[in-house]
Structure 1
Amino acid sequence: MASKERIQRLKDETRANILDASLQIVKEEGWQSLSMRKIADVIEYTAPIIYEYFANKEAILLELTRKGYLILARDLHEARGKHRLPAKQLEAMWLAYWNFAFDNKELYQLMFGVEMNCCCDLVETLPESESPYTQFSEVIVDLMDIENPTKDMICLKYYTFWSVVHGLISINILRRGYSDEMNRQVLKDAISGIIRSIERERQKV
């Protein structure tokens, strides 16, 4: 049993090393430079060994995408847990989303196809990709505070938030933004504005 556990541990470590090497290459040279051969060179293995763990480069991209969503889900959960009121939770969660995008720029590019081709059809098969929407939707429903909101109503509010935040992130990843201070102010103003519009709608009901 101990031998089997050791073998499995070595396999897990090799798999993690492949993913770490992939991300290292991308951070240094960009996504367009990633190849199975380069990964093998970095970890000093032969290319055939890489294929024992991942069928192709797309499989590596998908696993890195999964990793990105897991990190993002954790960050959102932690941000939400620091506040009690839905408005404060949403503000904290979208700021955490923003921070994730720039702390993990390469993963964000991969997850949403910023400056690169996204494996979008495959990403939709990842259960992890649903977590951000699920977490945000739960808080949006709390903020709306109306009886039986429809899926379309919730989606509209979520995509209003997401379009603004993702758009601003993309602008800055493309290096067309302004100062950090101004970007954060624009972000906070946009989030606050959408939150206030939801609160006004709630008061009319």
Structure 2
Amino acid sequence: MSVEERKRRERAERESAIVAAARALAEADGWNAVTIRRLAEKIEYSQPVLYSHFENRDAIVAAVALEGFGELALALRKAVKRARDHQDALTCLAGAYLAFARKRPAVYEAMFAMPTDLRFAQAESKPELKEAFAALKDVVAQSTADAEAATETFWASLHGLADLERTGRIRQGAREKRVALVVNGMLA
């Protein structure tokens, strides 16, 4: 291994450690607890080292969000593999999406609520964003001629349900009914 390859590997390992520490702090104490100073202490690097990898806290949040979108895409693709038909695939997709949001609240918050420069539906959108959208679109497209709009609407419905559940603003125990209404709306 060349010196340059070793330096690239070590840099990638440090970036991974920073992102993992940010996720852990956010899951334990919320995003307000995630500061450059606390991250530096947690991973035992100086603040300038963190700044050499990420411009600011928002860039770290964006890195957590990108990981989250990659993980979400995998969870969605895995969920639909066990589906028996199109309706079941939409139901599995919805269930996997809501489960992801519930099990990873800080990551989900980074993906959708925290300030980042991540943008969907643009030529320069990150591959992780495109893959997460494609994981939804591949299933939704089977039930409509306008796959883009239908996927955005399905995603918005799931996001709304996830956010309302996460904040305790809708009745507990009615998820299946709500998912069935969203899925039936997609099939209508």
**TM-score tier (shorter):** 0.7 to 0.9
Aligned-partner Cα distance in 2 for 1:165–1:138: 16
**How many positions carry a matched residue from both structures?**
184
Summarize the alignment of residues 23-172 of structure 1 with structure 2, pairs less than 5 Å apart.
Answer: 23-83=23-83, 85-113=85-113, 117-119=114-116, 121-124=117-120, 125-144=125-144, 149=145, 153-172=146-165
The offset of 1:186, in angstroms, is 3.0
Segments of structure 1 that go 5 or more residues without pairing to the other structure are 198-205
Aligned-partner Cα distance in 2 for 1:66–1:99: 18
User: TM-score with structure 2 length normalisation?
Assistant: 0.85
Q: Deviations over 1:111-145 (max 9, x none)?
A: 111xxx432x434432321223223222222234x
One-letter amino acid matched to 1:126: K
Aligned-partner Cα distance in 2 for 1:90–1:40: 42
Describe the SS at the equivalent of 2:150: helix
One-letter amino acid matched to 1:63: A
If asked which structure has higher relative contact order (CA below 8 Å, sep 6+), I would say 2
Q: Does 1:175 align with 2:168?
A: yes
The offset of 1:42, in angstroms, is 0.9
Aligned-partner Cα distance in 2 for 1:132–1:183: 26
Segments of structure 2 that go 5 or more residues without pairing to the other structure are none
Q: 2:176 aligns with which of 161, 185, 197?
A: 185
CA contact (8 A) 1:26 1:106 kept: yes
Q: Deviations over 1:37-81 (max 9, x none)?
A: 110011121111111211221221111111011001111111122
One-letter amino acid matched to 2:155: W
- Same amino acid, percent of matched pairs: 26
CA contact (8 A) 1:87 1:143 kept: no
Aligned-partner Cα distance in 2 for 1:123–1:34: 23
Larger radius of gyration: 1
CA contact (8 A) 1:73 1:132 kept: yes
User: TM-score with structure 1 length normalisation?
Assistant: 0.79
Q: CA distance change for structure 1 residues 83 and 189 in 2, over 3 Å: closer, same or farther?
A: closer
Aligned-partner Cα distance in 2 for 1:6–1:190: 53
Q: What residue is the counterpart of 1:201 in the other structure? A: none
CA contact (8 A) 1:65 1:123 kept: no
CA RMSD, 1 decimal: 2.1
Aligned-partner Cα distance in 1 for 2:104–2:137: 23
Aligned-partner Cα distance in 2 for 1:86–1:132: 19
